Amino acid sequence: MASGAETMAVEVAAQNLEAMAASAAGLKAIGAGLAVGLTGIGSGLGEMSIGAAAVGAVAEDKEMFGLALLFTVLPETIVIFGLVVALLLLFS
Partner 1 sequence: MFNPKQMSRLLIVASKEHLDPVIAELYRHHVFHIEDFVEGANEDIKGVKIGNPSKGADVLSTDLVRVRSIASTFEVKPENGKGLQKMQNSDIRGRIQEELPKIAKEVEELLSRRAHLDSSMKEYEQRIELLQPFVNSPVPIDMLYGYDSVSIIAGTYPGTVTLDVPHEEYKETLKGTTTTILAIRNSDLPDVEKKLLDASFHRIPIPEEEGSPQELIYRYEQEIASLQKSMDEVSDDLADIKEKQKEFLLASEELLSADLEKAEAPLLFATTEHAFAIEGWVPAENNVALQEDIQKVTGGNVLLSELDIDDPNNGPPVEYNNPDFAHPTELFMDVYSRPKYTEVDPSMIMAVVYPIMFGLILGDVGYGLILLVLCFGLRSFLTGKAGNQLLKVLRNCSISSIFFGIVFSEFFGFSLPWHPLWLSRHLNIGAGPEAHAVAEVSHIPELIIISIWIGLLHITLGRLLGARNAAKMDHGHHRQLAIYANIGWIMVMWGIVFLIWSIFPIPFMIDLSGFPAMVAGLNAASIAGALILIVGIIFIARENVLDLMEIPTIISNVLSYTRLIAVGLSSVAIAMVTNYISIGMIIEPNFELSILGIIFLVVGIIVFLIGHTINTALGILGGGLHPLRLHYVEFFTKFYRGGGKIYHPFGKARKLTEIE
Q: How far is the CB of 21 from partner 1 (least distance, A)?
A: 16
Closer Cβ to partner 1, 30 or 88, answer by number: 88
Q: Which is nearer to partner 1, 12 or 30 (CB)?
A: 30
Nearest distance in Å: CB 56, partner 1: 19
Q: Identity (one letter) of the amino acid at 46? A: G
SS (H, E, C) the chain: CCCHHHHHHHHHHHHHHHHHHHHHHHHHHHHHHHHHHHHHHHHHHHHHHHHHHHHHHHHHCHHHHHHHHHHHHCCHHHHHHHHHHHHHHHHC
User: Where along the sequence are the contacts to partner 1 (CB under 8 A)?
Assistant: 66-67, 69-70, 73-74, 76-77, 80-81, 83-84, 87-88, 91-92
9/87 with CB nearer partner 1: 87
